[in-house]
Amino acid sequence: MCGIIGYVGKKRALPILLTGLSAMEYRGYDSAGVCVQASGLVRIRAAGKIEKLRERLPPAPLAGTAGIAHTRWATHGVPDEANAHPHMDCHEQVAIVHNGIIENYSELREGLKAKGHTFTSQTDSEVLAHLIESECEEASGLAAIRRALKRVRGTYGIVVIFKDIPQTLFAARMGSPLVIGVGAHEHYVASDPSAILAHTRDVIFLDDGELAAVSSEGVTLAGLDEQPVNKQVERVTWEVETAQKNGNPHFMLKEILEQSAVVENSTRGRIDLIGTRAVLGGLRDVSERLEEIDRIIIIGCGSAYYAGLVGEYLLEELTGIPVEVELGSEFRYRKPIISARTAVLAISQSGETADTLEAVREAKRKHALTLGLVNVVGSTVARETDAGVYNHAGPEIGVASTKAFLSQLSVLALMGVYLGALRGVLPEREAGAVLAALYEIPDQIQMILEGRARISQIVKRHAAMGNCLFLGRKYQAPIAYEGALKLKEVSYVHAEGYSCGEMKHGPIALIDTSFPSVVLCPLDSVFEKTRSNMEEIRARGGKIIAITTDHDAVSSLCEEVIIVPKTLECLQPLLTVIPTQILAYEMAVARGFDPDRPRNLAKSVTVE
Ligand code: AGP
């Protein structure tokens, strides 16, 4: 989720571009760059935060009054200057900034190389600059961009500037937001309104499949399908900070609500329903070693550890390989028995968690195959593991992990299908069923999110709770642990996650009318046993909030019932976790706390 801004008008573009980038730094800032139309296209880029870019600026201010700029959240290619946007073609005729993922960039890149194009970055985005320039042999401006984009599969929000088309920006949207700011004899293009609200509140929101030519005097809209496009100018009433949260009061809520798109992005280009296979390019170089491993150890901390517990069930079921899950902080102090046929999979959103990182180093010292499931491209865990898969969840700003956790589960399911097929133990029919069900998850997530208000009402009825037990069994046990962690860390209600089967071994002593339980009880292979636990709770006066797939199956035992759609048992955690996230968020707000800044916590625990 990168930050994009373009300006065309009467003022010097550079100061406006830099201010706009600063307003979007929350979207990701591993590198940044600008390109201004001066004598030719003048481009300046830098790795690191925007301050590093400011340090690179020439002493004499750039006079150009049209330009584009970008702050990067890496998806392909490490965060260095060469991979920073704007990207240009080899003849420096075209400069582009891009937000999104080009799925077919490899094949496009090979085709362009065959025509003599030389590339200077590892990114998918650079391909767009070369592609557009190659189309300028047959067309110009918007027509050349349209011809290029018709060859692209994936998502994009792009702004393009040509050396030879003065005072004009070109924009196109497919799957990544773009907004045009309307000023007096000046216009802006940005990935979200927060970058331009200082200049104008009058905007035109582009929709998927729409293109625009933007000059200081006007905006020309067109369809990728060459159909006419008419749009109204709208007025944005948000303040900047609210705009950064898509109009939501907190980043945590914004990130919960964008999880449908996050799972789409995490699985984009990785579900091949025709070939019935999971496509994980990041594991290709170690596929031979993966065929030989006889054990998997998953390492993580906090929510990443709980994602690993779901992964344990998933990977054992789909691959037949023994899996164990270890806390990073424990694993690194044991004398773990590891061989070259052990794969150690580190799960980490930040890729910088000290305990997880030290566990990876211990595994490497013992010659294990080390893999990463990481969200931040180019982070230390990603760089120090032998191979891995990025989960493409976009920057997660909220301290409580929500969308990153869900995207980790999505990628673990893909890993299960990939490994099961690689080792010849997963029947094609079963692989196809998992991939087809995973493909449906984004729509099912959206159905749950549309019922958010009802969950908020449930929280209001139980806001006085001082304690809470989260219970689940098999695939739902890790969601009980994760749900308890979420509630604890943002609302400070004491919550414990337990496997249902453990109730009789102690926790049931806690149950009375003042001690509610949240029970994860979808109709799965262990539902009847979970229902028995609910009856035991009920018999002791305990109140139950059920998260289930069948209202009538549990309603007689519960105060509250939250319904989620039914999917395969191995994917059901991707759906049952969402109400637990909403419960935690709503409880924090009901108690007057800021869920984005929970006390005593940091987003990334880089110390031991
Ligand atoms: C989760 O809500 C917490 N913020 C915390 O447990 C987090 O999951 C843990 O610190 C691991 O972080 P990582 O994924 O960046 O390694």
Predicted pLDDT of residue 352: 87
- Cα separation, 544 vs 558, in Å, equals 5
The closest of 4, 56, 38 to 160, measured between CA atoms, is: 4
> What is the whole-number distance in angstroms between the Cα of residue 260 and the centre of ligand 1?
21
Amino acid letter, residue 355: D
Output the CA 584–ligand 1 centroid distance in Å.
16
For residue 402, is it within any domain?
Answer: yes
Contacting residues for 300 by C-beta, under 8 A, at least 6 apart:
306, 307, 308, 325, 327, 328, 346, 347, 348, 356
pLDDT-derived band at 168, boundaries 50, 70, 90: very high
pLDDT digits (tens, 9 = 90+) for 480-489: 999 999 999 9
Of 449, 466, 489, the one marking the end of a domain is 449
Residue with CA closest to ligand 1 atom 7 = 302
The answer to whether the beta carbons of residues 544 and 537 sit under 8 Å apart is: yes
48 and 158 assigned to the same domain: yes
CB 71 within 8 A of CB 25: yes
Domain assignment present for 600: no
Cα 550 to ligand 1 centre (Å)? 32
In the predicted structure, residue 600 carries a pLDDT above the cut 90: no
- Residue 348's Cα: distance from chain center in Å? 13
Q: Is the pLDDT of residue 542 over 90?
A: yes
Residue type, position 186, single letter:
E
Domain boundary among 416, 449, 482: 449
Q: Is residue 389, in this structure, part of any structural domain at all?
A: yes
pLDDT over 80 at 597, yes or no: yes
Q: What residues flank ligand 1, with Cβ below 6 Å?
A: 301-304, 348-350, 353, 356, 399-401, 489, 604-605
**pLDDT of 27:** 65
Does 607 reside within a domain? no
What is the Å distance from ligand 1's center to 401 Cα? 6
In a domain, 608, yes or no: no
Q: Which pLDDT band holds residue 390 (cuts at 50, 70, 90)?
A: very high
Mutate which of 349, 405, 601 for ligand 1? The one with the most ligand atoms within 8 Å of its CB, which is 349
> How many CB atoms lie under 10 A from the CB of residue 537?
25
Q: Are strands 31-38 and 40-47 parallel, antiparallel or unpaired?
A: antiparallel
Same domain flag for 445 and 458: no
- Count of domains for the chain: 3
Does 263 share its domain with 352?
Answer: yes
| CA–CA distance, 589 with 608 (Å, rounded to integer) | 30
Taking the C-alpha atoms of 447, 448, 454 and 459 in order, what is their torsion angle to the nearest 10 degrees?
-170
More confident residue, 252 or 376: 252
Q: E-strand spans in 234-382? A: 234-235, 271-272, 277-278, 295-300, 323-327, 342-348, 369-374
Task: Give the residue whose CA is nearest to atom 5 of ligand 1.
Answer: 302
Query: How many angstroms separate the alpha carbon of residue 506 from the centre of ligand 1?
Result: 28
Q: Mutate which of 332, 350, 488 to test ligand 1's pocket (most atoms within 8 Å of Cβ)?
A: 350
What does the pLDDT read at residue 237?
79
Exposed/middle/buried for 119, CB within 10 Å: 0-12, 13-18, 19+?
middle
The H-or-E segment that residue 470 falls in is strand 467-472
Nearest to 165 by CA among 214, 208, 201: 214
Mean pLDDT of 204-212: 94
- Give pairs for 531-538: CB < 8 Å, separation 24+: 531/557, 533/471, 533/473, 533/500, 533/503, 534/558, 536/503, 536/504, 536/508, 537/503, 537/508, 537/511
Whether the link from the prior residue into 336 is cis, omega within 30° of 0, is no
Asked which of 294-298, 310-314, 420-424, 596-600 is least confident by mean pLDDT, the reply is 596-600
Give the residue numbers annotated as catalytic, written as ranges.
2, 603
Query: Does 364 have pLDDT greater than 90?
Result: yes
pLDDT at 244: 80
Residue 171 has which token pair? 């924009």
Domain with residue 368: its CATH number is 3.40.50.10490
Q: How far is CA 450 from the centre of its chain?
A: 20
Whole-number Å distance between alpha carbons of 301 and 45: 35
Same domain, 435 and 324: yes
Q: Determine which residue's CA is closest to atom 6 belonging to ligand 1.
A: 302
**pTM of the full predicted structure?**
0.81
Tell me which of 252, 331, 353 to substitute to probe ligand 1's pocket, judged by most ligand atoms within 8 Å of the beta carbon.
353
Which residue's CA is the nearest one to ligand 1's atom 16? 348
Per residue, what are the HEC states of 123-186? CCHHHHHHHHHHHCCCCCHHHHHHHHHCCCCECEEEEEEECCCCCEEEEEEEECCCEEEECCCC
C-alpha to C-alpha distance for 125 and 109, rounded to whole angstroms: 10
- Average pLDDT rounded to a whole number, residues 175-203: 93
pLDDT in tens, 400-410: 999 999 999 99
pLDDT, one tens digit per residue, over 85-138 is 999 999 999 999 999 889 999 999 999 999 999 999 999 999 999 999 999 999
pLDDT at 265: 93
Residues 6+ apart with CB under 8 A from 344: 296, 297, 298, 299, 338, 359, 360, 363, 368, 369, 370, 371
Ligand 1 atom at minimal distance to the Cα of residue 350: 15
Q: How much distance in Å is there from the Cα of 439 to the middle of ligand 1?
A: 26
Beta-sheet pairing, 467-472 with 387-390? unpaired
Q: What percent of the chain has pLDDT over 70?
A: 99
Distance CA 574, CA 578 (A): 7
Q: How far apart are CA 218 and CA 182, in angstroms?
A: 8
Q: How far is CA 460 from CA 183, 349, 463, 464, 560, in A?
A: 44, 31, 5, 8, 12
Ligand 1 atom with minimal separation from the 381 CA: 16
Q: Are residues 432 and 573 in the same domain?
A: no
pLDDT of 506 higher than 80: yes
Looking at the fold, whether 458 and 369 belong to one and the same domain comes out as no
* Interval 47-82: pLDDT, tens: 988 889 999 998 888 889 999 999 987 777 788 999
What distance in angstroms lies between residue 318's CA and the mean position of ligand 1's atoms?
26
Residue 140 lies in a domain: yes
Amino acid 77: pLDDT: 77
Tens of pLDDT, residue by residue over 295-353, are 999 999 999 999 999 999 999 999 999 999 999 999 988 889 999 999 999 999 999 89
Query: Do 439 and 483 sit in the same domain of this protein?
Result: no
Give the residue-averaged pLDDT of 470-477.
Answer: 98
Among 196, 213, 236, identify where a domain stops. 236
Residue 219: strand pairing partners: 214
Q: Does residue 601 register a pLDDT over 90?
A: no
Residue to mutate, 329, 604, 606, ligand 1, most ligand atoms under 8 Å from C-beta:
604
**Nearest ligand 1 atom, CA 605:** 10
Q: In whole angstroms, give the CA distance from residue 565 to residue 556.
A: 20
| Element spanning 31, H or E | strand 31-38
Separation of alpha carbons 437 and 414, rounded Å: 11
- CA of 301, closest atom in ligand 1: 11
Residues making up the chain, counted from first to last: 608
pLDDT at residue 1 greater than cutoff 70: no
- CB distance 351 to 379 below 8 Å: yes
Expressed in angstroms and rounded, the spacing between residue 519 Cα and the centre of ligand 1 is 23
Nearest alpha-carbon partner for 303 in 403, 376, 161: 403
Task: Give Cβ neighbours of residue 82 (< 8 Å, ≥ 6 apart).
Answer: 120, 121, 122
Tokens linked to 405: 């956790």
- Going from the Cα of 435 to the center of ligand 1, the distance in angstroms, rounded, reads 27
Do 53 and 17 fall within a single domain? yes
Q: Do residues 570 and 413 make contact, with C-beta atoms less than 8 angstroms apart?
A: yes
Atom of ligand 1 nearest to the CA of 353: 16
pLDDT at 236: 85
3-state secondary structure 504-561: HHCHHHHCCCCCCEEEECCCCCCHHHHHHHHHHHHHCCCCEEEEECCHHHHHHHCCEE
Q: How far is CA 269 from CA 102, 215, 230, 419, 554, in A?
A: 9, 35, 32, 17, 39
68 and 179 share a domain?
Answer: yes
Residues 336, 478, single domain; the answer is no
Ligand 1 atom closest to the Cα of residue 302 is 6
Instruction: Please indicate, yes or no, if residue 334 is contained in any of the structural domains.
Output: yes
347 and 227 share one domain: no
Decide if 63 is inside a domain: yes
Residue 201's domain comprises 3-236
Segment 277-303 shows an average pLDDT of: 96
| pLDDT computed for residue 307 by the predictor | 98
CATH code of the domain in which 219 resides: 3.60.20.10
Pair 328, 443 in one domain:
yes
